[in-house]
Amino acid sequence: MRIIDITTASNILLKSGIIAFPTETVYGLGAMANNQIAISKVFKAKNRPKDNPLICHFNSVEQIKSFGIALNRVEQILFDQLSPGPLCLLLDLPNNSPLSVATGNRSKIACRIPNHTAALDLITKVKYPIAAPSANTSTRPSCTTANMVLADLGNKIDGVIDGEIPKIGIESTIIEVGNVSIKILRPGSIGKSEILNILSKYSIQIKIQGENTTPNKQTVVPGSKYPHYSPKTTIIQTTSIKKIIMSPGIAVIASKEKLSEYEAQLKPNKDIYFYSLGSKKELTKVSQFLYKNLSELDSIGFHKAYLLIENWGETSLGLAIANRLSKVGKNN
Ligand code: TXA
Ligand code: MG
């Protein structure tokens, strides 16, 4: 596998290859959205369960509409105001659409316009939407650098574009707009308050459901039933430091603030390594480096790591960080 430029990536895609590219959220593993052969390669490279459909990436709302995909007023406003950006809308896909190979023949398609020059240039160059899940082996942390992609997917893919580092670092918010409510199917940096704030400017009042850390099972995307974001190191989630079984070579993962609370209690114990995910006062940094931090645990070689379950605050980003962390490793 190699680092490639946008022209090379575009040529590979047009010849049914698969390549990884940066977005503002995480790296995507792209295939032409109408190409069954390339899409099968994506599933194989990731070891992705077959029933888990792929998001399609477009360069504009016009390109979405050119496939006969209609947007209602709320959807149009949200895309106008928040895209390009980390928002993915689940929209009705017309029957017999060439894009149905990406959705696994579902009647809805997840559409997103990424806010990243390399991603947009690539879509423009191939003149077609790109289907792309996150560029990582299923169950592993998503990748936020080209080197992470290289380390995870190795020679299973045809290349990776090494672009500007994703600013957000965690995946897009996925929503479905219904007649009476909007469902947040996967929380992200855009949440309830950002959506309500925009719609209120248009005097639209609508209920928003499902932004909890562990959303109601009926309001989640198919992918959420699978394990996620876990490095190879054994990670055990725990609510309390008291549940940690002390042994040589263990790490305790938490926010900077949580770790400093425990410092006096635990620091004298030489067996324990404090692994900070960053400060709650700097959530944008925490999210930007979340997956990098989780995957770097493997290179340090801990025997075991304990992840402290904690409250990351009520902002959309805080809730999204807590949502991702809630899926890492096992519960204790
Ligand atoms: O930020 C992101 O969204 C990144 C970047 C690369 O764009 N992509 C991403 O893709 O996170 P992935 O495949 O890791 O997660 C997409 C989620 C999965 O849980 C999948 O089940 C859901 O979106 N999804 C995709 N298409 C869908 C569809 N047609 N209906 C319902 N859920 C869908
Ligand atoms: Mg993923």
CA of 53, nearest ligand number:
1
The amino acid sitting at 288 is: Q
pTM for this predicted structure: 0.96
Sign of CA dihedral 258, 264, 268, 269: negative
pLDDT for 265 equals 78
Q: Which of 320, 331, 266 is nearest to 288 (CA)?
A: 320
pLDDT for 236 equals 94
pLDDT for 269 equals 74
pLDDT for 138 equals 95
What single string gives the DSSP state of each residue in 268-320? Answer: T-TTEEEEE---GGGHHHHHHHHHHHHHHHHHHT-SEEEEE-----SSHHHHH
What single string gives the DSSP state of each residue in 112-158? Answer: E----HHHHHHHHHHTS-EE--BSS-TTSPPP-SHHHHHHHHGGGSS
In tens, the pLDDT along 156-169 reads 999 999 999 999 99
pLDDT for 141 equals 96
In tens, the pLDDT along 31-63 reads 999 999 999 999 999 999 999 999 999 999 999
Q: Which residues line ligand 1 (CB under 6 A)?
A: 23, 25-26, 28, 52-55, 88, 90, 103, 106, 108-110, 112, 114, 132-134, 171-172, 174, 221-224
pLDDT for 164 equals 95
User: Is the previous residue joined to 94 through a cis bond, with omega within 30 degrees of 0?
Assistant: no
Half-sphere exposure for 25 (CA within 13 Å, toward CB): 30
The residue nearest atom 12 of ligand 1, judged by CA position, is 133
**Burial of 248: CB neighbours in 10 Å, binned 0-12, 13-18, 19+:** exposed
In tens, the pLDDT along 309-332 reads 999 999 999 999 999 999 998 765
The amino acid sitting at 2 is: R
Residue spans of the chain under pLDDT 70: 1, 212-219, 267-268, 331-332
